Amino acid sequence: EVQLVESGGGLVQPGRSLRLSCTASGFTFGDYAMSWVRQAPGKGLEWVGFIRSKAYGGTTEYAASVKGRFTISRDDSKSIAYLQMNSLKTEDTAVYYCTRDLPGYSSSWYDYWGQGTLVTVSS
């Protein structure tokens, strides 16, 4: 059974950093691209970023709102995807979901989602 479990959320002050983890199981993690999507309280879904599998260079793409502040990485040996969030702003407050993408260079649909982890940025 495919499972994605996010962790690392919590309360953080503006300007500080936080790292989220997404631990995957039930599939060959290294074969798949992974994405992060967030949802501010009471709002819609917002795509955050994407990391390709190592077969496609392990390169990343980001939303303009987080580019230069957030970094996605992966450790295929541990089946974990990370979202490093620096210089956090109050508007980054959201539930953060990791999602399984498809093998390949481009992104596609998300057939599996984690349960989400809440990040609250407040002084």
Partner 1 sequence: EIVLTQSPDFQSVTPKEKVTITCRASQSIGSSLHWYQQKPDQSPKLLIKYASQSISGVPSRFSGSGSGTDFTLTINSLEAEDAATYYCHQSSSFPLTFGGGTKVEIK
Binding site for partner 1 (CB under 8 A): 35, 37, 44-47, 50, 61-64, 97, 106-111, 113-116
Question: Least Å distance between CB 113 and partner 1?
Answer: 4
Question: Least Å distance between CB 64 and partner 1?
Answer: 6
Question: Least Å distance between CB 17 and partner 1?
Answer: 23
**Residue nearer to partner 1 on the CB measure, 29 or 117:** 117
Do 39 and 46 touch, CB atoms closer than 8 A? yes
**Residue nearer to partner 1 on the CB measure, 64 or 77:** 64
Do 122 and 71 touch, CB atoms closer than 8 A? no
CA dihedral (33, 71, 98, 32) in degrees, to 10, reads 10
CB atoms within 10 A of CB 38: 22
